[in-house]
Structure 1
Amino acid sequence: MFKNKKHLLKKLPAYNLQEVLIVLVIIGILLLLALPNLMPLISKTKSVEAQTQLKFIYNSQTTYRYMYSKYAHDLNEIDFEAPKTVQENGTSNYSYEILAATNNSFKAKATAITDFDGDGIFNVWEIDETGTPKQIIKD
């Protein structure tokens, strides 16, 4: 029926295993070169969580002060429930606490529980009655 089988078996253009492995190695090397430059950006992005939660604490403290003419000493008093940390199978990278509270002022702190860049320094943010989060220790 078919006299010439050559026309049925066409060779398709493709990459061989060596070529694919070389491309993967090059991509890996480029990632290793780029990663140290990306670490500050990763740290900065994760610190947005601390700033957002501290702003929430500030807003809650302000509301509490309007009601009771003083700032709360405990996060439970302002109905702040800290998100579950990564150590507790959650997504939060920070723990939160109120350091001080008087009738006219308060100070709350967010401390990183993860060392984002592996240098042994943990990121710390604070907020007070002025409402502006401040980075105390940069990771």
Structure 2
Amino acid sequence: MVKKNLQKKKQHLWLKGYSLTEILIVLCIIGILIYLVLPNQTQAVVQARAIEAKTALNSLYSYEKNYFFTHAKYSSSLEDIGYETELTIDKGGQAVYRIEIIEASINSFKARAQSIQDFDGDGNYNTWEIDHQRNLKEIVKD
């Protein structure tokens, strides 16, 4: 009878659980699944960030057109047209693209939005340009 009581107590002391090997196998499977999904997420991030560049360049286009209608020429200065750039992430802001007017004349202008961050680590920095005819195109894909 004493033996039966000891056996019952021993059975209650053992808790059911998973072995270390089983836990490691599950973690490896989860890691592989994350590795397979991560490249697809990178492309989604690049597309979302490109919206920032397109929006900024379309806004700059409007400012340049307003300046053109007032002064009969385009300006090469962001300050002259009244365009205020957002602080970039390297200066404590939220913007990922640096906006600049690369050329301006009486009849035309061209502006550029260049990423200051390499989204996918391939060494290419996403770059967009817009001109006086509102032709918005991606120059460098990331």
Quickly name the TM-score band, shorter chain normalised.
0.7 to 0.9
1:83 Cα deviation after fit? 0.8
CA deviation vs aligned residue, 1:51-103 (integer Å, no higher than 9, x gap): 00000000000011011111111001111111111111211111011111111
* Partners of 2:123 and 2:41 in 1: CA distance: 18
From 85, 89, 95, the counterpart of 1:82 = 85
Q: Does 1:101 align with 2:66?
A: no
Partner of 1:120: 123
Count of residues in correspondence between the two structures: 131
Aligned pairs for 1:1-139 within 5 A: 23-139=26-142
Amino acid at match of 1:138: K
Report the structure number with the largest CA radius of gyration.
2
* 3-state SS of paired residue (2:103): strand
* Partners of 2:84 and 2:137 in 1: CA distance: 21
How big is the alpha-carbon RMSD for the aligned residues of Structure 1 and Structure 2? 2.3
Amino acid at match of 2:89: V
Name stretches of at least 5 consecutive residues in structure 1 with no aligned partner.
1-12
Amino acid at match of 1:60: Y
Name stretches of at least 5 consecutive residues in structure 2 with no aligned partner.
1-15
* 3-state SS of paired residue (1:99): strand
* 3-state SS of paired residue (2:49): helix
